[in-house]
Amino acid sequence: MSTLTLTPTKMRFGIWQGLIQQNGTGVPQIKVTHLGNDIPDVQVTEQGDGGQWLLQVPVPAEAIADGVQVFVISDATDDEKLGQFTLIAGEALGDDIRGEVALLREELDMLKRAFRRHCVETS
């Protein structure tokens, strides 16, 4: 079992960042993969005392493409998955999001009607 926990923080300028909390000692050994290939230039930098480390993953330009791109973050010492992050792009995504928003609107309208009916009945 890994002694590491990962907390995602942000993505800016093509670099995904997260904080690693380590219960052990030494620099955490992190591996990030995309479609089974290792991502190069992953950086792990100590953040003061307390076993916190900043993880920075540069997203390669060739990994930015239409569809869903998943990056898996693992503890390289025991190959245990710590987390993942996802990039979603392209026109196909637009239809999916519009469909989900339409379903959410329908459910919200249904809840509003039920709430108004409940208010009238209990008045």
Q: What would the pLDDT profile of 39-82 be if each residue is shown by its tens digit?
A: 999 999 999 777 899 999 999 999 998 888 999 999 998 889 99
Distance (Å, rounded) from C-alpha 40 to C-alpha 32? Answer: 8
pLDDT above 90 (res 2): no
pLDDT at 67: 82
- Residue 95 confidence class, pLDDT cut points 50, 70, 90: low
100 compared with 31, residue with greater pLDDT: 31
Environment class of 32 (CB within 10 Å of its CB; exposed 0-12, middle 13-18, buried 19+) = buried
Closest C-alpha among 64, 79, 87, 85 to residue 31? 79
Over residues 96-110, the mean pLDDT reads 83
CATH of the domain spanning 4-89: 2.60.40
pLDDT at 42: 97
